[in-house]
Amino acid sequence: MSEDEKSPTVLGSFQKAMGDAGPYVALGMQMGLTVAFYLLTGLVLDAWLGTGPWLLLLGGGIGIVVMFVMLIRAARDMTARADARRKKRED
């Protein structure tokens, strides 16, 4: 089998893999950016108000809590979608 014959299959499987990984990559980016946003907000407020590391720590804590809430919601949503696909295949 020549390279030209293999390319569409390889390209198609790569595209499918990237499509399947997309929601997880987006979730990871969203989680990281959420924590970074709250940390930076705390850092800026600390510098502006002169409160030391307290708002930075509070921002980090809030960012982590928000991140876990997002993770739980995303896991619940992904599980519901997987169950729907599984049920559709069974029917």
Distance CA 87, CA 12 (A): 26
Reported as a pLDDT band with limits 50, 70 and 90, residue 1 is: very low
Q: What is the pLDDT of residues 13-63, one digit of tens each?
A: 878 777 778 888 888 899 999 999 999 999 999 999 999 899 999 999 999
Domain range list for the chain:
23-90
Q: What is the pLDDT of residues 63-84, one digit of tens each?
A: 999 999 999 999 999 899 889 9
Has this prediction a pTM greater than 0.95? no
